[in-house]
């Protein structure tokens, strides 16, 4: 079984999709053991609490620097024997020191079809605003491995979503979440969890 930590900063809708997928058996090779938030008021913490998942708040402000915050997160992950890290709306770019330690063991969901509308500065509604400004007819979501380049890691899964003429950034965001993110993130987590647990068994 793969031990999973989910890193969050906000509402935790993707975390909820993962919790639901674990309960329904979509995720069967992994278990969400820990939720780590870099914001003390993140609603995702309540979702963790409501589902009996341990959670911890580790902020850059309390730690004094990005480096110290990452060090504290790494120590917490080690202590909980975490095998796989899922970034679910985690609003902090992780450094190479962190991503290098967990090579092919950190995955992220991005609300566009990478390589479109991704990289530094593309998060939240900004991604959907850019897609609409460009006039694309199809957008979607991408689950990818995380490396030191924002949105630069190898793609695991993608799902396309049609853009309607009357879409706003808000309606498009909702559509991409419901029709793509909440579907492929659990599937990708199961796929990578299975690979990791098979490697663990071999050891």
Catalytically annotated residues: 110
Spatial distance between the Cα atoms of 95 and 21, rounded to a whole number of angstroms? 30
Regarding pTM above 0.75, the answer is: yes
Cα of 198 vs its chain's centroid, Å = 22
C-alpha pair distances (Å), 144 with each of 53, 57, 136, 149, 166: 24, 25, 22, 12, 29
Q: pLDDT (tens digit, 0 to 9) for every residue of the chain, 203 residues total?
A: 999 999 999 999 999 999 999 999 999 999 999 999 999 999 999 999 999 999 999 999 999 999 999 999 999 999 999 999 999 989 888 999 999 999 999 999 999 999 999 998 899 999 999 999 999 999 999 999 999 898 999 999 999 999 999 999 999 999 999 999 999 999 999 999 999 999 877 76
Task: Supply angle C-alpha 146, 147, 149, rounded to 5.
Answer: 110
CATH: 3.40.50.170, 3.40.50.800, 3.40.50.1110, 3.40.50.1820. Which one for 2-202?
3.40.50.170
């Amino acid at each position: 079984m793969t031990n999973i930590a989910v890193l969050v900063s906000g509402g935790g809708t993707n975390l909820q999709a993962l919790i639901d997928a674990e309960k329904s058996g979509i995720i069967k090779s992994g278990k969400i053991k820990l939720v780590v938030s870099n914001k003390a008021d993140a609603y995702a913490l309540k979702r963790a609490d409501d589902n009996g998942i341990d959670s911890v708040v580790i902020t850059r402000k309390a730690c004094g620097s990005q480096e110290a915050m990452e060090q504290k997160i790494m120590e917490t992950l080690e202590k909980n024997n975490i095998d796989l890290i899922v970034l679910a709306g985690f609003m902090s770019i992780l450094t190479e020191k962190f991503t290098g330690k967990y090579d092919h063991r950190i995955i992220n969901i991005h609300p566009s079809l990478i390589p479109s509308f991704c990289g530094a500065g593309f998060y939240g509604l900004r991604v959907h605003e850019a897609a609409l400004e460009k006039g694309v007819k199809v957008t979607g979501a991408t689950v990818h491995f995380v490396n030191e380049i924002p949105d630069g890691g190898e793609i695991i899964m993608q799902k396309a979503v049609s853009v309607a003429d009357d879409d706003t950034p808000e309606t498009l965001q909702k559509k991409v979440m419901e029709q793509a993110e909440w579907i492929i993130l659990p599937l990708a987590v199961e796929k990578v969890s299975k690979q990791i647990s098979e490697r663990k068994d071999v050891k």
